[in-house]
Amino acid sequence: MSPQDRMPPRHDTAGPSGQAGYSGQAGQAGARPRVPLPRARRVRLGVARAVKLDGNVKQALETGRNRVLFTAAFFVLAFLALSMKLIAVGVLHDGGEPRVARGAPPPQLVLDRADIVDRNGVLLASNLITASLYADPKLVFDPVDAATRLRTVLPHLNQTDLIAQLSGDRRFVWIQRGLKPEQQYEINALGIPGLYFQREQRRIYPQGRLLSHVVGFTNVDNTGRYGLEQGLDRTLRERAETGRGPLVTTIDIRVQQVMRDALRAAVAEFQAIGATGIVMDARNGEILSMVSLPDYDPNAPVDPEDKAMFNRATLGVYEMGSIFKAFTAAQALDAGVVRIDGGFDATDPIKIGRFTIRDFHPERRWLSVPEIMLYSSNIGAAKMALALGATRQQDYMRRFGFLTPARIELPEVGAPQAPHPWRDISVMTIGFGHGMAVSPLQAAGGMAALLNGGYKVPATLVKHQSGERVVRERIIDEKVSMQLRKLLISVVEAGTAKKAQAPGYLVGGKTGTAEKAGAGGYRRKALLTSFLGGFPMNDPRYVVLVSLDEPKPTPKTYGYATSGWNAAPTAGEVIRRIAPLLGVRPQAIDGAPLEGPVLPQQRDTELRYALVGDEDEVAVSDELPEVQNAAY
């Protein structure tokens, strides 16, 4: 049978539209009839579709597998790189502190002021970076709540004032300057809107009270107030700006500590209201120690009107008493009005009008110049001054620098008081230390001239640099200086200053006890007692001044309050303790060196000395051994 014979019979039927079509389907007029595909072909088409589908799946799977492999390889490489870095840091690198990451260095804060150090490099003043608190009142939402919370950290602030500050119309108001780190942290933790911090510099003083009157302090704006901070304010700023390093002072912190300890002990023992101490280099005017008691802490300065703020060493001027007899003797000998073996009659007191000049321990006889010094005769000194005369005495006082304020790098300098007019009674009283007031610094400078060969040297608190020119002025003859040394030695060995002796060291000096002036005249029981001298007198190097204000008698002094019982022994204790520190070797009476603990002295810088108005300069060097200072 042919394929056509197996085809089903065809039936013509009418569709809904009256057109012919196939059973179960609506055909279109004139459409070609659908012929079913043969089975074999349908199988081949299915297989082709299956093969094509299988290819797409395989391609998708291959792509996914490649992506997974790539991702895995990336993580493996990253892990390997991290592992190698860890091995390099933990195993291959040397141990030590963590290193700061490399990058742009942080901006450096420019210091406002240079440091201040002593002659051996010990820090006296430096800068500390601190935070200061300020507010923008416009951004403070609740001033009352902010003030209450802020006072939990800063309880010293006044609640009412603080609320007023935080409620104002200004956009900037300081709340607290110089916060401590813990205060800054606690304030920041409060989270009060409108409060901010600003970095500032604060001056700190590691030595505290020890050098308060010398160094001074700065205010909240880092401007110098008192001491070197004010006197050299511009210098300290310029040194900081130019990077010239710290300001080196003449102070020796060891000598300063000894002097302050000795003065504090004397003030406590004799119930004095104050004390002053100075150690000066007689050759170049450098001040190794300057103490004024009472003192204060420059890190927390007291009220400016407080007595502790008063620098007795430079600002205070006093009638120094019998120490002026040394200057009177030097002036009379230098002027030629008396010889060293000459003298004056001290038998009877001197009466001038309602005034009477008498001796504390009268000898009632003629006294030589050495005896006038030894017994501290007011009568003999008055007659010696009267022989000198008012004109010449005034001229010598001007030479010694007693008629003008002392020149020193401090703003606190007192003006001396001299009589006007300069009458005979003034001449006599000045001869034994009354009627004229000078500062302790001026008195120490005058003694330096008596010891160093007759030269007036300017006092200074700034250490001389090597090769620096120091201008000196001759005020007395060198021979007179030698004679005064012997006189001062005799006063310590056998006179009123015997308690100033320091075993092993040749000390010379003069005591002075002056009644303080008050309303209606001098106050007999209000005394200023002083010792002024130097050591070692075989080759004078250091001037030492000790002064006590209104010391009281004690059973140990047998009821006396004069300088021989208080200022002199205090000075002797100072010399005994500082001499080894300064490299001064003790000697026996015959001059042979003694064994004892002595720190080697650092060789001083070579200076050029010149006389006032003289063009010639002489380079001098000390004869001390060239060794390093063992203390620092």
Is 289 within 8 Å of 278 (Cβ atoms)? yes
CA angle 412, 416, 417 (to 5 degrees): 140
Asked if residue 155 has a cis previous peptide bond (ω within 30° of 0), the answer is: no
User: Do residues 127 and 201 make contact, with C-beta atoms less than 8 angstroms apart?
Assistant: yes
**HSE (side-chain half, CA atoms, 13 Å) at 349:** 11
**Rounded CA gap, 168 and 164, in Å?**
6
In the set 132, 212, 322, 426, the catalytic residue is 322
Question: Kind and range of the H or E element at 443?
Answer: helix 440-451
Nearest CA among 233, 201, 203, 228 for reference residue 216: 228
322 is annotated as an active-site residue: yes
421 cis-preceded (ω within 30 degrees of 0)? yes
**Cα–chain center distance at 139:** 39
> What's the number of CA atoms in the CB half-sphere (13 Å) around residue 101?
2
Task: Give one DSSP letter per residue of 272-294, joined into a string.
Answer: -SEEEEEEEETTT-BEEEEEEES
CB atoms under 10 Å from CB of 19, counted, come to 13
Beta-strand pair 521-535/542-549: antiparallel
d(CA 205, CA 116): 9
Q: CA-based angle 347:361:424, to the nearest 5?
A: 55
Which residues are CB-neighbours of 431 under 8 A, at least 6 positions away?
A: 324, 325, 328, 381, 382, 384, 385, 386, 388, 393
Q: What is the DSSP letter of 593?
A: B
* Alpha-carbon gap, residue 489 to 501, rounded angstroms: 10
> Residue 351 CB: number of other CB atoms within 10 A?
10
**Cα dist. 136→131, 140, 146, 181, 292 in Å?**
16, 7, 12, 22, 44
| Residues labelled catalytic | 322
